[in-house]
Amino acid sequence: MHKFAFIIHPLDASYVARKFPVAKYLPASLVEKLLLWLPPLKTSYITGVRSPHAETEGWFISCPLTSRQMVSLPEELVLDHIIRAGRLAEKLGAEIVGLGAMTSVVGDAGITIARHLNIPVTTGNSYTVATALEGTRKAAELMGIDLTRAQTLVVGATGAIGAVCARILARECPSLTLVARNEQRLENLARRIVKDTGADVRVSRNLKEALRRADVVLTVTSAAEAVIEPEDLKPGAVVCDVARPRDVSRRVAEERDDVLVIEGGVVEVPGEVDFHFNFGYPPGLAYACMAETMILALEGRLENFTLGRELTVEQVDEISRLARKHGFRLAGLRSFERPMPEEKIEAIRRRAEEKAACN
């Protein structure tokens, strides 16, 4: 049996209380200062991951920095914390390690971390892309949106996940708009997609304006705070939020009953997996990035599978094939950590049609 580890971190100071209850009585600023002095921690031992072909076990390793600290502290300091977490994984016996949430974003998206470890590293982004696109297609279908006629928007399009999502979506969505902060990289990506697919690809510097026109949005920025608010979205829009921390404000769920927001990359793990740690999902469910590490351990593919910011369509196809082989599958549609049954989606669709009729 090949074993794996997966590096996690508190998204904000409130998450620290899940491991250290006393933290909920302390101000967030003090919690973050204390985190700087903590070494990486073995958070739990994961058991019961079993496919028809193999089984695996592993560890959650906590890198004690919040998302805000990941993007605001000096990059060298943050990478040092992540590398120390990877070395703990090595000592425990892991043969491959996955990078979760912001640990897969900082620096050069895992390349430097891999150079400092003696075991392979994967960000999990290839399987995250595969499941996000599968969920987006399903959600659009249920909302009555024809992707071949829809205005589709990718937010954070020059990141590792955003770029390959845009390249794959352009094959299905002839009208595609891209938004990102780096204008030169955005223009380069758009030219590449037009050359490869012939799609009508536009770039925008105005996120709010692009959101108001979009029927389908796939968002995957590395922002530490939400970038999409209730007033930004068109009635009937579908939004797939792949980012962690979320790009979509929780206010959208509270104030907009006419748009469908789904989470990207939540999957059912085969076997009787027990994470021995509550990261917010029901038993048996995991983020796709976690699942990619498990899939590679099950398959014995102990290699740097997904690293850096240049994901390929071939990587996405390969991890999708291995996921199907080992019994991983999309965990239905979920929104803000809750299941989204089809009857609720139908109600959202009807509400959107009512609003459209009134306008």
Q: What is the pLDDT of residues 39-70, one digit of tens each?
A: 999 999 999 999 999 999 999 999 999 988 98
| CA distances from residue 197 to 173, 194, 232, 241 in whole angstroms, order as listed | 10, 5, 29, 25
Residue 44 backbone dihedrals phi, psi, to 5 degrees: -165, 165
Over residues 182-222, the pLDDT tens digits come to 889 999 999 999 998 888 899 998 999 999 999 999 999 97
* Section 304-321 average pLDDT: 91
3 state SS for 120-159? CEECCHHHHHHHHHHHHHHHHHHCCCCCCCCEEEEECCCC
Which of 68-77, 152-161, 179-188, 297-306 is most confident? 297-306
| Beta-sheet pairing, 121-122 with 55-62 | unpaired
Of 235, 287, 230, whose CA–CA distance to 264 is shortest? 287
Predicted model pTM:
0.85
Q: What is the mean pLDDT of residues 147-162?
A: 92
Please tell me the predicted confidence (pLDDT) of residue 15.
Answer: 81
Give 307's strand partners. none
Per residue in 38-77, is it b (16+ CB within 10 Å) or e — as a string? eebbebbebbbbbbeeebbbbbbbbbbbbbbbbbebeeee
Mean confidence (pLDDT) of the chain = 91
In this predicted structure, the answer to whether residue 120 has a pLDDT above a threshold of 80 is yes
Whether pLDDT at 322 is above 80: yes
Radius of gyration (C-alpha) of the chain in whole angstroms: 20
What pLDDT is stored for residue 1 in this prediction?
94
The pLDDT, as a whole number, for residue 258 is: 95
